[in-house]
Amino acid sequence: MIIEIGSIIIMGSLAGYASLKKGGTTSNDADKIQKIFANAGWNGKNGETIRLHRKSNFSGGIEYVYQVPLGFDRKRIEAEQHILEDGLNIRHRLFEFNPTDLFKVKINSSMFKQIKMIFTKKKIDRKEIELGFDGMLRIKVYKESMKEQYEWDEGYLMNGTWSVSIGNTRQGVVRHDFDEHKHLIIAGATGYGKSAILKLIVTSLVLQQPENVKLHLIDLKGGSAFQRFKDLKQTKNYTREPKEVKEILQNIQIEMNKTYTDIVDSGFEDIKESGRKERHFIIIDEAADIADDSECMEVVTDIARRGRGAGYYLIYATQYPSSQSIPQQTKRNIPSRLCFVLDDAIASNTALGQTGAEELPLIPGRGIYKNVKSQVVQTPYISNRQIEKCIKPHVVIKPRKEESSIEYREGKKTGSNSFILEET
Ligand SMILES: Nc1ncnc2c1ncn2[C@@H]1O[C@H](COP(=O)(O)OP(=O)(O)OP(=O)(O)O)[C@@H](O)[C@H]1O
């Protein structure tokens, strides 16, 4: 009995302490923010500081609204947001701990072991921030980290459009509309979600625009990310061979030029105005592998520069962003970027035009999407099994060039699209 009462008191106090810790975390964040601004040299030209205008609670944290001095460099602060986040996390780390776990403890001889487990299994959670500018500087400080995984489902689709879900933020889904923003550069260290988002983009395009999307898939990573799309009726080109890339790109360029000439000759400015529905997507996974080939790069640059008018959109992915793998002219023509964690600030600058990707947490799918503004997103995750299910109705059996002398016949299915080849 005494043990039971004692344990209840201990648990009650621990729970109270933990919830206090979780709730009352941010009392002096306003001061900290002001100090971080001063130390980072983010004040106005004559040393003017930001001034706290308002502070308000919202369901996930606290928003601080500041008046900013004239000449305030918002882009610099956006790029160096991690300094602010690190500063707010220096002394205060939040325990990801649910006090109700304590009430699940069974009162028996292993009680102390169970309590110890709850505390030793806790994860350290960082405060995260979000910046906004509308004449005032708005800093949202969140009590909890962003979700590490968002499962994709068909609710992410916008049928009949070219707008594809690219990530989730706490405010909702962020989309990249290819008819608005055309091309996209994707960069990121290996293993953090480049292929996964490319597969999601392809799947979304096929499901949203099955009759109008034309895919040119160039997979130079030595993996098999695009393999599953090669027999789609929407796939016009698919290769994993670097030596085939030049010919494919040059043929695309010829078609693109012809389409553009037709559009202009018919008196239209671009494909959108012409009312044509077809859009071509040239998707290159590991662009660094063709960076040495000047003829390939000439076509890539040309598509980035002139493809928009003809409806030829480029998605250019690399894990090695450098001035060679993303030439200056290509970069200038592709303002939209999605960048997962990168090795250093130089790579981040090359890929995004700002630092910050080197500071992203090591979470697959966590990236910075930069378009008009830049924001941290968690890309939706689609499993290979889901992809197979979604694209199955679009699979057709195509003879490959080198197999034109081989007779095809449908055979015993071992997968959704397997068949036996018989040489005659
Ligand atoms: N949005 C996501 N949410 C959760 N997990 C993800 C997400 N994206 C990727 N992952 C996980 O990370 C793993 C690696 O992702 P992916 O293959 O896309 O990386 P990559 O950057 O293309 O790496 P590599 O260049 O080595 O192929 C995936 O197998 C998956 O388990």
Domain range annotation of the chain: 2-142, 150-408
Closest Cα to atom 23, ligand 1: which residue? 191
Q: Which atom of ligand 1 is nearest to the CA of 319?
A: 25
Q: Mind listing the pLDDT tens digit of every residue in the chain (424 residues)? A: 555 545 554 554 444 444 444 444 445 888 889 888 888 888 777 778 889 999 999 888 899 999 988 877 777 888 788 888 888 886 544 455 667 777 767 677 667 766 765 665 444 567 888 888 888 999 999 888 888 999 999 999 999 999 999 999 988 999 999 999 999 999 999 889 999 999 999 999 999 999 999 999 999 987 688 999 999 999 999 999 989 999 999 999 999 999 999 999 999 999 999 999 999 999 999 888 888 899 999 999 999 999 999 999 999 999 989 888 898 888 999 999 999 999 888 999 999 988 889 888 889 999 999 997 888 999 999 999 999 999 999 999 766 555 544 333 333 333 333 333 333 2
Q: Is this prediction's pTM over 0.80?
A: no
Residues 330, 317: contact at Cβ < 8 Å?
no
342 alpha carbon to ligand 1 midpoint, in Å? 14
Closest Cα to atom 6, ligand 1: which residue? 364
Residues with CB under 6 A from ligand 1: 149, 188, 190-196, 221, 223, 319, 364-365, 379, 381
- Choosing from 147, 150, 195, 197 the residue with most ligand 1 atoms within 8 A of its CB, the one to mutate for a pocket test is 195
| Tokens, residue 82 | 């991690």
| CA-wise closest residue to 279 among 229, 226, 215 | 215
| Tokens, residue 383 | 């499993």
Closest Cα to atom 14, ligand 1: which residue? 191
365 alpha carbon to ligand 1 midpoint, in Å? 7
Instruction: Specify the long-range contacts of residues 44-52, CB closer than 8 Å, at least 24 apart.
Output: 44/68, 44/69, 44/70, 44/71, 44/72, 45/69, 45/71, 50/137
Model ipTM value: 0.97
Give phi and psi for 296, each to the nearest 5: -65, -45
Q: Which CATH class is domain 150-408?
A: alpha beta
Q: How crowded is residue 116: how many other Cβ atoms within 10 Å of its Cβ?
A: 11
Helix (H, G, I), strand (E, B) or coil at 377: strand
DSSP-assigned letter for residue 145:
P
| CA-wise closest residue to 321 among 341, 348, 299, 295 | 348
192 alpha carbon to ligand 1 midpoint, in Å? 5
